[in-house]
Structure 1
């Protein structure tokens, strides 16, 4: 006979069964958990405890970081208008030397950083070697100059040429090839302090025109450029004189894009230098189709460098502050020569925009905010969330090592953790986010200040502050180690 059971009794009966099943499951979990700790006494003790106390013991057994509340602090940073040097960007000075000439002055180079200059253009005229190899004295001069540049905490743009007269003579291709083979070991030995190389060699001033040996043709320019790219380390970029020359050499008007950027692809390694910048019209033949070629350079320069020097204006053109600002932004200028053309540079100074250009030539990275946990466990992942922008005219072009650095507030011990990010992706006016877990391997327990370090990839330069990127924020830069203080602390507990 079927019993008449009320719905409430049936509910209590089912709940009782569920509770027993859940309790059984909890006891199984507890047993597995305790066995991993090899404590049989703990197993039986926990199995005898009420369920509520079991949960209490289980929660107490967790690492603090796993069950701790969110203690992250979000900080917004203030931008700075300070002018300061940063690697591979800004105003530059040009130093020219002919065969047997005077080496660079270490004393003179040592003063440049006080002008907030981090880079120089060194032009070597091989005028005594148009029909023979570069002699040992000539090679030694080049090597010694690059060493002085390194000692001064600077970097160099290089150019080689044979004549500084429009009617002068250059060298035939076989001599150029021989010279480039001789220069290859110097390029390799000094790649850490070479920012870029201008194509050079052909014609007056190495500017690829007026060649006495008929080299100012697309085929010969291609031969010289490809040979230069061959002897240079693959990470060094080369600049050619006009956009039309690059387009003709590679037989395309398509700019470099993300698919080949920063690769060993020859096209991805070739940028532009304009030595008649801000002169109006075609910039003395720099452009044949002004609007189209400026658009081409603007897109190309997201990944390859542009720079050069001003020239006397033509046709009533006025290189005013607005014109200078618009051109530098459009063409993503990374450097500009201070030694020519003085009337244009002086006009910018008197009009009040020179300092603006000094700040914004090249990249200018600014911290926006960071969100970082106040606690961490040694050996475990630590979440990093940092946001920045680039208020400069151009991105970085050479790879940098970006790291989170922990500095113990008591012992001053430093731990550095490289972040898998490419800071070159921080494009002008764009936002760049670093959202990465960092495994705090080997960190001792203690309190730490947090820093962001953006360093040169060369082992012998990465710990020199002159070669680290300073962020344009108030109160963050420290010369000690070339780091940017994030103004946050964490407490690291032992594992």
Structure 2
């Protein structure tokens, strides 16, 4: 009888599984640890980050031959985490004349001061700031653009975007006294603006239909066009009555369709602008504003107008969220990096990036993997194929590249990513480099982002 009981007990153990849990499942051995790989999980930062060509901006206009930008005011922008301004030049004095040397000197001085202080501008030209005043005839606009070409070309490095301007009061393409709002005249001015500006600068028009009429199309461009430098791929949108009525004061005709069109195009071209007094709609709540900015991929927004809308967001604790999310917010999520490599061999960079902002990066940047010697601090710089414009919101970006180690001596190296301005004048300026939104990775003195990894080259 005793032996029968023992036999039944053994059979029960076997049927219940070796762990005695009764699940009938065999435990799975853990994945073997690869000691040659450093598997890194990066920590996202919750800070407001000052990055180029995005975020809240100030709107600073100047009359003909007026005072240049104040260095003190530009320097003070750092305290507000502001990196861009909307600079508007009112050319009232030149509706029937060439731009004066003093006017061109004013613009040149402004650009110099922007560069000195690490700021960029969103540029616009207009002939008046009152709807009851006149603008200039087409021939005068085109002549002024010819005059502006040298100064715009020379200072393209500190121009983030250009709002099309020139037509009507405030340059908003509406109140014209010279018949400039015909499709033919709008096309002539936009084409001239695109001609005189360097190819890398994107221009914004006031409504989606303006772009569709000028280029005679209605289906949003795809990546095959959007990442190119054709004229249509250089034109985005600015909305100067954002969230202000059901159609944003006539910005839209077919609201849902045109918003989706902008949403699709804004993978490649920028949107931005300002709010204005709401008409027949309540002041936009945090949720409404967040939804609209995410849909339309907003890159910048005026801090100076319309005050009650901005105060609503401050009162409801979302203003700082928008400071973080306007434009791009790139961050590292994970990395799998080899601990050792062979001299003159290769190193595989394996990272996952995320864009937690509303919009992509729109202007060309150059990316590098930096090797910094632990021993003596010597830096070696290897170009990457990364195009940060393709790190878009709402999806992970797998970054895998093979980096040749030629010319890097044996030793231990800390690794960094640097994403710098494409212009030779700004590439070494940390203020114009992109800071990734991670904790403990930013090196402000150099504009580099540490990968929290040390590589030994044998």
Fold equivalence (TM over 0.5): yes
Distance 2:282 2:183 in 1: 31
Partner of 2:173 in structure 1? 208
Matching of residue 312 in structure 1 with residue 272 in structure 2: no
Distance 1:256 1:70 in 2: 46
Matching of residue 382 in structure 1 with residue 347 in structure 2: yes
Partner of 1:160 in structure 2? 125
Matching of residue 483 in structure 1 with residue 441 in structure 2: no
Is the contact made by 2:433 and 2:447 (CA closer than 8 Å) also made in structure 1? Answer: yes
Q: CA deviation at 1:318?
A: 3.2
Structure 1's consecutive aligned runs of 4 or more residues displaced over 3 angstroms after TM superposition are: none
Q: Secondary structure at the match of 1:382?
A: strand
Q: CA deviation at 1:70?
A: 6.3
Distance 2:149 2:65 in 1: 21
Alignment of 1:337-486 (within 5 A): 337-486=302-451
Is the contact made by 2:434 and 2:447 (CA closer than 8 Å) also made in structure 1? Answer: yes
Distance 2:272 2:93 in 1: 29
Distance 1:430 1:389 in 2: 7
Pick which of 269-278 and 111-120 moved more.
111-120
Q: Secondary structure at the match of 2:225?
A: coil
Q: CA deviation at 1:377?
A: 2.1
Partner of 1:180 in structure 2? 145
Distance 1:412 1:78 in 2: 26
Distance 1:250 1:137 in 2: 36
With the length of structure 2 as denominator, give the TM-score of the two structures: 0.92
Mark the runs of 5 or more structure 1 residues left unpaired by the alignment: 1-68
Q: Secondary structure at the match of 1:379?
A: coil
Matching of residue 297 in structure 1 with residue 253 in structure 2: no
Is the contact made by 1:404 and 1:419 (CA closer than 8 Å) also made in structure 2? Answer: yes
Partner of 1:232 in structure 2? 197
Is the contact made by 2:283 and 2:312 (CA closer than 8 Å) also made in structure 1? Answer: no
Query: Which of residues 274, 285, 300 in structure 1 aligns to 2:239?
Result: 274
Q: Secondary structure at the match of 1:295?
A: helix
Is the contact made by 1:319 and 1:344 (CA closer than 8 Å) also made in structure 2? Answer: yes
Is the contact made by 2:283 and 2:309 (CA closer than 8 Å) also made in structure 1? Answer: no
Query: Which of residues 179, 186, 194 in structure 2 aligns to 1:221?
Result: 186
Q: Secondary structure at the match of 2:349?
A: strand
Q: CA deviation at 1:264?
A: 2.2
**Residue-by-residue CA offset, 1:179-217 (whole Å, 9 max, x unaligned):** 101111111111111110000000000000111100011
Q: CA deviation at 1:272?
A: 0.2
Alignment of 1:237-252 (within 5 A): 237-252=202-217
With the length of structure 1 as denominator, give the TM-score of the two structures: 0.85
Distance 1:105 1:141 in 2: 12
Q: Which has the larger radius of gyration?
A: 1
Pick which of 171-180 and 370-379 moved more.
370-379
Matching of residue 116 in structure 1 with residue 76 in structure 2: no
**Residue-by-residue CA offset, 1:103-151 (whole Å, 9 max, x unaligned):** 1001110110121111111000111110111011000000110110011
Distance 1:420 1:378 in 2: 22
Query: Which of residues 164, 168, 176 in structure 2 aligns to 1:199?
Result: 164
Distance 2:358 2:293 in 1: 6
Q: CA deviation at 1:464?
A: 1.0
Is the contact made by 2:55 and 2:300 (CA closer than 8 Å) also made in structure 1? Answer: yes
Distance 1:111 1:257 in 2: 40
Q: Secondary structure at the match of 1:402?
A: strand
Q: CA deviation at 1:458?
A: 1.0
Partner of 2:250 in structure 1? 285
**Residue-by-residue CA offset, 1:371-401 (whole Å, 9 max, x unaligned):** 1111122221111101111110000001111
Partner of 1:142 in structure 2? 107
Distance 1:272 1:353 in 2: 24
Matching of residue 333 in structure 1 with residue 273 in structure 2: no
Mark the runs of 5 or more structure 2 residues left unpaired by the alignment: 1-33
Q: Secondary structure at the match of 2:149?
A: helix
Distance 1:282 1:476 in 2: 43
Distance 1:210 1:420 in 2: 46
Q: CA deviation at 1:256?
A: 2.1
Distance 2:84 2:49 in 1: 13
Please tell me the root mean square deviation across aligned C-alpha atoms, in Å.
Answer: 1.0
**Residue-by-residue CA offset, 1:380-434 (whole Å, 9 max, x unaligned):** 1111101111110000001111111010112110001111121110111111111
Distance 2:348 2:145 in 1: 48
Distance 1:479 1:424 in 2: 22
Partner of 2:135 in structure 1? 170
Partner of 1:14 in structure 2? none
